[in-house]
Structure 1
Amino acid sequence: MNKLLVLFLLAGTILIYGQAEPNGFPGIEILPNNHAPDGRYLFSTYTVLGVDVVPFLIEMNTKGEYLFYKSLDAPATDFKIQPNGHYTWFDGTLGKYLVMNKDYKIIDTIAAEGYATNNHELIMFPKGGYMILADDTRIMDLSEIIPGGHTEAEVTANVVQEFDADKNLVFSWNGFDYFTLFDAASDIVLTGGRVDFIHSNSIEVDTDGNIILSSRNLDEITKIHRKTGKILWRMGGKNNQFTFLKDPKGFSHQHDARRLANGNILIFDNGNNKPPLYSRVVEYKVDEIKKTAELVWQYRRTPDIYSAAMGNARRMPDGNTIIGWGFNLTSDGSAQAVAATEVDSIGNRVLEFTLPLYIYSYRVFHYDGKSSSSGRGAVSDIKNILSAETDIKLSLYPNPVFGSATLEYYSGRPGDTSIKLYDALGREVRELANSSSAINAGKSSVSFDGLPAGMYFIRMQSGGESKTVKALIMK
């Protein structure tokens, strides 16, 4: 394979355009015949296979020159530029999104309210406010619902939340209220200890103001009323309401459903349940009245690429389409695998680059123009933010609990602190401790006598942050 350019990354480094390129881990190879228009590619790299690699945020131009990169302590996803010009990504250490300005300085964090923040999608609005995905995990007895179901399964549904410019929650939609376990695609395991039966991976504000939700494990694109939460239609999966024209198999385990300027919907189709296995990008002309989805354009690479998970596709203003191949295990026998392909409107490749095998990017974006940085900025110290976000400590021992246990907690955050016990259905059982001092710390013996055996949750809230631990009560 001819290699136009090979660049290298080094763990623990920050690079702003104009500084020397360090030696280190092999990185990106841009393949020949590069005809992409000027602009910037943004993506993050990590692995999901236990390979010892360092995660990175990367911004490079179409010539393969790095404008910026930052090594991280944990995987990051959804690294992109928002409409207000800020960079955002989900940080796996913090479990929330970080916001970075044009000078590469971290200025804010964003998280869901009342639920764990999901790592798939954050949309910030030009005039302020944002929409985010979250996870609602409940302990459920599935043994009487699903043959072979676990008696204490951790079942996760996804939540769509919208916040205004002041971070006030103005809309919350919970998948538990609208989907059932039986909606899951045929290959989704419902008998394990952890059940992820929806697995939403993208949210899109439609042209009429409502929400388009993509859910991988349902094989479904769902349109949701933005005020009432009512499902307006369901495309794909077991509850499909649409007739697919010129594409009888439809899509499977899809990602990144986006409404285009021409009114069509663009989807990255992973294709998991459609042998022979290959991934592609599809564009459907959708009639929401007649419930038809007509295939009007697709890109299937030659030779085929199969991405079992992740991936995205975005239509550029010039008509090109940038495709991130996600979890691509396809290789031509070399040590690299295609990470991204950009094609023109008739499917000609204008740029393609690879990553080393077993290193992936959740999404790849192409933005017009050059970096706005002066070249003298630096990334704020993520470790300082990490310490600020994690200065809440909560522990219970011994655990499992027989009768009583020791509860120990600490918070350096100003404001009220409360610690409450909840049952497996999320109902408050009792308050275990509270304080209103600037430094909150305590250690006490807590009796659980009189409570039924089972899984409980202890949640500490302090200074706008929270921490939850499980408590397994035995008899």
Structure 2
Amino acid sequence: MTDTPKTSRRNLLLGVGGGVALAAVAGGAGYAIGHSGDSTTATPPVEPVAGPPKYRSRPDLRTLPDVTITVPANATAPGYIFLTPASGAGLWGPLIIDDKGSPVWFRKVPDPATVAIDFKVQQYRNKPVLTWWEGTIGGTGGQGVGQGEFVIADENYREITRVRAAGTEQADQHDFVITPRDTALFWIYDPVPMDLSAKGGPADGVLHDGVIQEIDIATGKRVFEWRARDHVTLDESNAPLPQGDSAHLPYDYFHPNSVGLDADGHLIISSRHTWTCYKINKKTGEVIWRLGGRKSDFALADQAKFSWQHDFRRRRDGSYSMFDNGAGVTKERDYSRGLVLKLDEQKKTATFVREFVHPDRLSAPTQGSFRELADGGSFIGWGQMPHFTEFAADGKVRLSGHLPKDNQSYRAYKAEWSGAPLDQPALGLSVENGGVTVSVSWNGNTRVAKWRARSGSQPRTLTAAVEGPRTGFETRLTIPGTPEYVVADALDAAGKVLGTSSAIPVRV
């Protein structure tokens, strides 16, 4: 590893010798903007418009974004869709929806200036868990750099633990992978002093080094670390240096955005700013090969070339996939795509296998994800463009949708999940047209198939009942007349009671 004098993160973010502050972005725009020169000024939250709540049973979710399904589900893979909506509305957090676009679970992240990113299902201690990143995001040149930590939650949505970077730095948001050893792999953007004069920058400049840490989740101890600057030189970068008053801000030459395990246990990573995917020896840290970029070890035909990419992964058949943005600081391709390549490590060739393209040929300058599904299909989150698409193995679109246009979701995933929250169902009442409208929901419960509303004159003797199927996040039932109290039961497909709300008095 390079032996470099240590400088505090605070001093480096203030600019060594330059006195220019790097602002933390409060509104999510810091990782949305992908073009050089765009502002990273904080976006103030938008105050909710007064009016009736979206969900009478959960008025706190007034500004939860609506999801529009443009291609209805057709023979889709089982599971739910996992998003992290971010907009100026200020209601950011991990969100699960179904194939109809209806919310299943949402949790608002803490204020102030905190966002959630990279929400997905993983395995920890042989059990399914939810993981996501929480923190604040800033950056230079519009590129998102995170300072935060990772959350692991169980099927009851209880927090099991938080995973933090070892040392003084904080974890970046771009990826979080739990390994079969119950360790966690993630990135840190570490600002270090660097002579940038060879690139035309200041001799007393600052470099954003890309650092992989592997942390034992149970103990928090660091078991492995890798630094990009020890293995990747500045001449591999396609990113421009900060200019003018920003010249002393950290130069984000590498911008790593994914890390994972290859089939042989070595690491595979994506570096957006070098247009390169790397395979790294897990024991020695040496680069085994480079795919793409200025020093590629593989010959790539034009159809296989990529740029400004995200989410490099190994697929079950031995091929590799990535989300090829094709756009970023520059625009190299008219549209973004999910790209699948077959590598011949002996002949050093990379063969184009297939591309997955949005029906509207979207171009996403930042963010994005591309994952293989259990049934052989694929799922794409279009990043800065707030869309998601599920494809069959042959490339046919079998589901497509989007968040509101002023939103975005760094990644989007689809996975099976069974959630059983420990709180009670939520209940809201309104007296309308000579009866009582009962609005019921249970944030996160995936087993509710039907709802039953019981009513009467005393909380403990509520016998009159109406039932109806679950119709989305919130279901509405109508009770004739005006009883004194109402309670709601959540039922599974067999009619078993999963939970019961509090008894609520009816107020005319």
- SS, match of residue 45 in structure 1: coil
1:373–1:18 distance in 2 versus 1, CA, 3 Å: farther
- SS, match of residue 308 in structure 1: coil
Is the contact made by 1:117 and 1:134 (CA closer than 8 Å) also made in structure 2? Answer: yes
**Shift in Å, 1:252:** 0.2
Residue type of the alignment partner of 1:111: R
Distance (Å, rounded) in 2 between the aligned partners of 1:81 and 1:18: 29
Please name the residue that 1:82 is paired with.
Answer: 122
Distance (Å, rounded) in 2 between the aligned partners of 1:240 and 1:26: 42
Match 1:55 to one of 77, 92, 107: 92
Please name the residue that 1:371 is paired with.
Answer: 418
| Structure whose alpha-carbon radius of gyration is higher | 2
**Shift in Å, 1:374:** 4.5
**Shift in Å, 1:34:** 1.9
Is the contact made by 1:314 and 1:365 (CA closer than 8 Å) also made in structure 2? Answer: yes
Distance (Å, rounded) in 2 between the aligned partners of 1:270 and 1:239: 20
Task: Provide, for residues 94-137 of structure 1, a one-character-per-residue CA deviation record: whole Å limited to 9, x for no partner.
Answer: 71112211111112111121233111111112442221211221
Residue type of the alignment partner of 2:63: G
Residue type of the alignment partner of 1:55: W
Is the contact made by 1:10 and 1:25 (CA closer than 8 Å) also made in structure 2? Answer: no
Distance (Å, rounded) in 1 between the aligned partners of 2:361 and 2:317: 28
Residue type of the alignment partner of 2:82: L
Residues 1:123 and 2:177 aligned together: yes
Give TM-score scaled by structure 2 length: 0.64
Residue type of the alignment partner of 2:206: E
Distance (Å, rounded) in 1 between the aligned partners of 2:268 and 2:48: 39
Give TM-score scaled by structure 1 length: 0.68
Match 1:294 to one of 351, 370, 376: 351
Residue type of the alignment partner of 2:259: I
**Shift in Å, 1:375:** 6.2
Please name the residue that 1:214 is paired with.
Answer: 270
Residues 1:101 and 2:163 aligned together: no
Distance (Å, rounded) in 1 between the aligned partners of 2:123 and 2:287: 27
Distance (Å, rounded) in 2 between the aligned partners of 1:166 and 1:71: 28
Residues 1:268 and 2:311 aligned together: no
Runs of 4+ with >4 A deviation: 17-22
Distance (Å, rounded) in 1 between the aligned partners of 2:181 and 2:287: 27
Distance (Å, rounded) in 2 between the aligned partners of 1:141 and 1:57: 40
Task: Provide, for residues 73-110 of structure 1, a one-character-per-residue CA deviation record: whole Å limited to 9, x for no partner.
Answer: 31111111112212111111571112211111112111
- SS, match of residue 322 in structure 1: strand
Match 2:255 to one of 191, 196, 199: 199
- SS, match of residue 356 in structure 1: coil
Match 2:396 to one of 348, 351, 358: 348
Distance (Å, rounded) in 1 between the aligned partners of 2:276 and 2:337: 16
Match 1:66 to one of 84, 103, 122: 103
**Shift in Å, 1:352:** 1.1
Number of residue-to-residue matches in the alignment:
348
Alignment of 1:258-337 (within 5 A): 258-272=313-327, 273=330, 275-328=332-385
Distance (Å, rounded) in 2 between the aligned partners of 1:226 and 1:276: 33
Task: Provide, for residues 371-415 of structure 1, a one-character-per-residue CA deviation record: whole Å limited to 9, x for no partner.
Answer: 23156379xxxxxxxxxxxxxxxxxxxxxxxxxxxxxxxxxxxxx
Distance (Å, rounded) in 1 between the aligned partners of 2:384 and 2:204: 31
Is the contact made by 2:183 and 2:214 (CA closer than 8 Å) also made in structure 1? Answer: yes
Residues 1:29 and 2:62 aligned together: no
Please name the residue that 1:91 is paired with.
Answer: 134
Distance (Å, rounded) in 2 between the aligned partners of 1:92 and 1:75: 6
Is the contact made by 1:57 and 1:79 (CA closer than 8 Å) also made in structure 2? Answer: yes
**Sequence identity (%):** 29
Please name the residue that 2:15 is paired with.
Answer: none
Residue type of the alignment partner of 1:135: Y
1:302–1:65 distance in 2 versus 1, CA, 3 Å: closer
**Shift in Å, 1:25:** 4.9
Match 2:208 to one of 146, 153, 156: 156
**Shift in Å, 1:39:** 1.1
Residue type of the alignment partner of 1:183: E
**Shift in Å, 1:310:** 0.5
1:377–1:294 distance in 2 versus 1, CA, 3 Å: farther
Please name the residue that 1:437 is paired with.
Answer: none
- Which residues of structure 2 form unaligned runs of 5+? 1-46, 50-54, 137-146, 426-508
**Shift in Å, 1:45:** 1.2
Is the contact made by 2:292 and 2:300 (CA closer than 8 Å) also made in structure 1? Answer: no
Is the contact made by 1:58 and 1:66 (CA closer than 8 Å) also made in structure 2? Answer: yes
Distance (Å, rounded) in 2 between the aligned partners of 1:97 and 1:341: 26
Residues 1:146 and 2:185 aligned together: no
Distance (Å, rounded) in 1 between the aligned partners of 2:179 and 2:339: 26
- SS, match of residue 423 in structure 2: coil
Distance (Å, rounded) in 2 between the aligned partners of 1:64 and 1:207: 35
Match 1:229 to one of 285, 291, 301: 285
Residues 1:358 and 2:413 aligned together: no
Residue type of the alignment partner of 2:161: D
Please name the residue that 1:253 is paired with.
Answer: 308
Is the contact made by 1:133 and 1:158 (CA closer than 8 Å) also made in structure 2? Answer: yes
Distance (Å, rounded) in 1 between the aligned partners of 2:223 and 2:123: 20
1:190–1:293 distance in 2 versus 1, CA, 3 Å: farther
1:289–1:339 distance in 2 versus 1, CA, 3 Å: same
Please name the residue that 2:86 is paired with.
Answer: 46
Please name the residue that 2:233 is paired with.
Answer: 180
- SS, match of residue 160 in structure 2: strand
1:236–1:190 distance in 2 versus 1, CA, 3 Å: farther
Structure with larger RCO (C-alpha < 8 A, sep 6+): 2
Cα root mean square deviation, aligned: 2.5
1:284–1:68 distance in 2 versus 1, CA, 3 Å: same
Distance (Å, rounded) in 2 between the aligned partners of 1:18 and 1:167: 42
Residue type of the alignment partner of 1:154: V
- SS, match of residue 174 in structure 2: strand
